[in-house]
Amino acid sequence: MKKETLIIFAAFAVTATIAAEQASAQSKNFKLGQWTEIHNSVIKELNRSYVDSLPLDRIMRAGIDAMLDELDPYTVYIPEEENENLQMMLSNTYGGIGAIIYKKKDGNVIINEPYYGSPAQKNGLSCGDEILEIDSLPTKGLETKESSDKMKGKPGTTVVFKVRKVRSGDTLDIPVVRERIHFPDIEYSGMLDDSTGYILQSGFTENVSSELRQKFLDLKKQGMKRLVLDLRGNGGGLMSEAINIVSLFVPKGSLVVSSKGNTEDSKMEYRTTQEPIDTEIPIIVLIDSASASSSEIVAGALQDMDRATIMGVRSYGKGLVQSIRPLAYNGQMKVTTAKYYTPSGRCVQAIDYAHRNDDGSVGHIPDSLTREFRTASGRIVRDGGGITPDVAIASPSYSRLVYALVLGGVLDQYVIDFARRHESIAPADEFHFSDEDFEDFIRFAKTQEFDYRSSAKTLYDQMKKELEKDGLAEAMSEELEAMGKALEMDKEKFIRLKKNEIIPFIEEEIATRYWFQEAGVKIRLRYDRQLRKALEEPMIAI
């Protein structure tokens, strides 16, 4: 009797579970049908009754975007006309001439930075050249994006520029055949000293793992005894490439990452399928608050396997998997389908979006809200969002003035002016911006309009406005006047005060214009205090 009772109870439990799942599915489907019907009836009634003609394309797109915004920042709709943006996202490529442009309002297009080996560079376009027309269309009346869009196009097609050359002043018609432009994910590799190799990786698009493999082998031939893999600022990309990169340094068959979603096909384990090229060499992985997604897969897996020492600051905290799904009329949707987990079981995704800094990265989360996990050797690591480095090294900080000079375009304009007046400079390893050059920059910057106030002065101005709103400014006029005078600093004096902060940015921008992107990285490494600190720190025992 007992056995029969248990069998009946088990059968009832299974039947109840199935019934509950069916009821849930029916409820979900009913809600979907209900809201689809409501949505369609709203649109039909607007189309019939609204006082003006209905801008259907605009309001329907706005509705889709608003709906997806309610889910997460990464689930997005991509209509057919924006497929080029998707291609850029997946492969870091586009059809065009390979140059960054600069444009003042009501001015012509200026070539700011041509890429090495690009159609722009091969056809003699250089920093400071002025584009007067694109296919006979004057650029003066165009917005920057319009100009850029007209320069892009299908590889193999020709675009004709009317160009005023930067130094000779000659006006020439220059036809350029567009090519498929690829931004390299490996921006730089080289030896930092006799034994330390360095690879700067900025993305995770197709075949980056093969490129990194070759760069690694090249550095080994040059005597590399330890590797620095720099993932700072790397926002991620293809999960498959992250897995392939980890596979270079760990035994075949190692678990790299797992994913879990609402469907069975989203619950997966991803292991290495290739033989490694080196399981012994010490590795430092540098991360910061902009290291996200695939960068966190690499850093988290190597940390959990005690295969690398992670240094820097806590990473961004994007532990979501996106998949591309086809939609009607050749549209596509990048939709979040799962969360991913490191080998120890940590979820990289931040606990919630409310715990994020202004830049979107993970904010402070108390240990009481996180859980402990263990690496292969038993070291404690925590979840809660992002990868916490084994060795914390603060990222550099810059004054408000430097941000104003960079974001306000003052540095770009100065470098273009510099290029007009200097036909060549020394190679990047030897180039330095002299005291005389800095005086030249000061003279230029003084003629430019930009907000050069210090952070303290901006806070003072904000506080003064609030006191005026509250009717307290008059009563505190003497104190306010004294504080205002103390914080007041003229443009030239402030620029001189921040000389050591400004010069590295100028040197990098100038070197890039003459010797291309790799030269800019070399200059950046010259002043990289976070990297220097990382090289001095002890690594974890492997």
Are 95 and 152 within 8 A, CB to CB?
A: yes
123 shares its domain with 42: no
Q: How many CA atoms lie within 13 A of 104 on its CB side?
A: 11
Q: How many domains does the chain have?
A: 4
CA distance 253 to 251: 6
Return the bridge partners of 103, or none: 109
- 318, 236 in Cβ contact below 8 A? yes
Mean pLDDT of 83-93: 72
What integer best gives the mean pLDDT of the chain? 89
Residues 6+ apart with CB under 8 A from 410: 404, 445, 448, 450
Q: Would you say residue 465 lies in a domain? A: no
Instruction: Of 72, 144, 113, 151, give the one whose Cα is nearest residue 338.
Output: 72
169 is in which domain, residue-wise? 93-182
Query: Given a cut of 60, is residue 334 above it in pLDDT?
Result: yes
The pLDDT of residue 3 is above 60: no
Q: Is residue 469 part of a domain?
A: no
d(CA 464, CA 473): 7
Residues 230 and 328 in one domain: yes
Residue with tokens 């790799």: 518
| 376 in the same domain as 308 | yes
Position 275: which residue type?
Answer: E
- Residue-level pLDDT at 455: 86
Instruction: Reduce the DSSP state of residue 108 to 3 states and report it.
Output: coil
Amino acid residing at 111: I
More confident call, 48 vs 232: 232
The most confident of 8-22, 29-43, 357-371, by mean pLDDT:
29-43
Going from the C-alpha of 420 to that of each of 40, 155, 414, 436, the distances in angstroms are 59, 31, 10, 17
Say whether pLDDT at 1 is over 50.
Answer: no
* Strand, coil or helix: 228: strand
Which residues are registered as beta bridge partners of 260?
339
Same-domain status, 25 and 38: yes
Q: 474 lies in a domain?
A: no
Q: 507-523 pLDDT, tens per residue?
A: 999 999 999 999 999 99
pLDDT of 448 higher than 90: yes
Confidence check: pLDDT of 19 > 80:
no
493 & 350 share domain: no
Segment among 51-65, 107-121, 139-153, 474-488 with least mean pLDDT = 474-488
Residues 266/206, Cβ–Cβ less than 8 Å? no
Q: Are 249 and 279 in contact (CB under 8 A)?
A: yes
Give the pLDDT confidence score for residue 370 in this predicted structure: 81
Furthest-apart CA atoms within the chain: distance in Å: 103
Q: What is the CATH number of the domain that holds 161?
A: 2.30.42.10
The type of residue at 195 is S
On the question of pLDDT at 66 being above 80, the answer is yes
Does residue 506 register a pLDDT over 80?
A: yes
Considering 163, 182, 201, which residue would you say is the last residue of a domain? 182
Same domain, 169 and 129: yes
Lowest mean pLDDT: which of 105-119, 188-202, 294-308? 105-119
C-beta separation of 236 from 262 below 8 A: no
Token readout for 103 is 């444009």
The question of whether 135 is a catalytic residue gets the answer no
pTM comes to: 0.86
> Residue 372: what residue type?
E
Distance, CA of 299 to chain centre:
16
| 304 a catalytic residue | yes
Q: Which two tokens stand for residue 225?
A: 């005894």
Sheet holding 226-230, edge to edge: 186-191, 196-201, 226-230, 283-287, 309-312, 391-392
Average pLDDT for 10-31: 57
pLDDT in tens, 150-192: 999 999 999 999 999 998 899 999 999 999 998 899 999 999 9
Q: Is 38 exposed, middle or buried (0-12, 13-18, 19+ CB in 10 A)?
A: exposed
Do 380 and 508 fall into the same domain? no
> Would you place residue 33 in the very low, low, confident or very high pLDDT band (cuts 50, 70, 90)?
confident
Look at residue 10 in the predicted model and tell me its pLDDT.
53
Same domain (yes/no): 169, 218 = no
User: How confident is the model over 457-466, as a mean pLDDT?
Assistant: 86
Of residues 267 and 442, more confidence is placed in: 442
Choose the catalytic residue: 293, 295, 315, 361.
293
For the stretch 195-234, pLDDT in tens is 999 999 999 999 999 999 999 999 999 999 999 999 999 9
483 falls within a domain: no
pLDDT at residue 2 is higher than 60? no
Q: What is the pLDDT of residue 482?
A: 86
Q: Which CATH number does the domain housing residue 356 bear?
A: 3.90.226.10
Helices (H), 292-434: 294-304, 400-407, 410-421
Answer with the one of 148, 182, 216 that is the final residue of a domain. 182
Residue 235 included in any domain: yes
Candidates 308, 296, 250, 240; CA nearest to 270 is 240
pLDDT mean over 295-299: 97
Structure confidence at residue 356 as a pLDDT band (50, 70, 90): low
How far is Cα 112 from Cα 412, in angstroms, rounded to an integer? 8
Given 377, 395, 413, which residue is the final one in a domain? 395
Report DSSP letters for 255-318, one per residue: EEEEEE-SSGGG-EEEE--S--S-SSS-EEEEE-TT--THHHHHHHHHHHTT-SEEEES-----
**Catalytic-role residue among 103, 162, 215, 318:** 318
pLDDT digits (tens, 9 = 90+) for 125-134: 999 999 999 9
Task: Identify the helix (H) or strand (E) that includes residue 244.
Answer: helix 239-247
Task: Please determine, for residue 6, whether its predicted confidence score (pLDDT) is greater than 60.
Answer: no
* pLDDT band at residue 471 using 50, 70 and 90 as cut-offs: confident
Beta pairing, strands 255-260 & 268-271: antiparallel
For residues 96-104, average pLDDT:
91
Our CA angle for 180, 185, 188, nearest 5°, is: 115
Q: Is residue 225 part of a domain?
A: yes
Q: What percent of the chain has pLDDT over 70?
A: 91
Percent of the chain, pLDDT > 90?
63
293 catalytic residue (yes or no): yes
| Options 185, 288, 304, 383, the catalytic residue | 304
Rounded to whole angstroms, the Cα distance separating 342 from 305 reads 10
Whether 371 is in a domain gets the answer yes
Residue 136 has pLDDT above 70, yes or no: yes
363 pLDDT more than 70: no
Mark whether 319 and 430 lie in a shared domain: no
pLDDT for res 7: 53
Judge whether residue 365 has pLDDT over 80: no
- Domain match, 221 and 363 both: yes
Residues 201, 159 share a domain: no
Residue 472 DSSP SS3:
coil
Residue 144 domain flag: yes
Same domain, 263 and 310: yes
Say how far apart CA 287 and CA 233 lie, in whole Å. Answer: 8
Distance in angstroms (rounded) separating the CA atoms of residues 131 and 144: 12
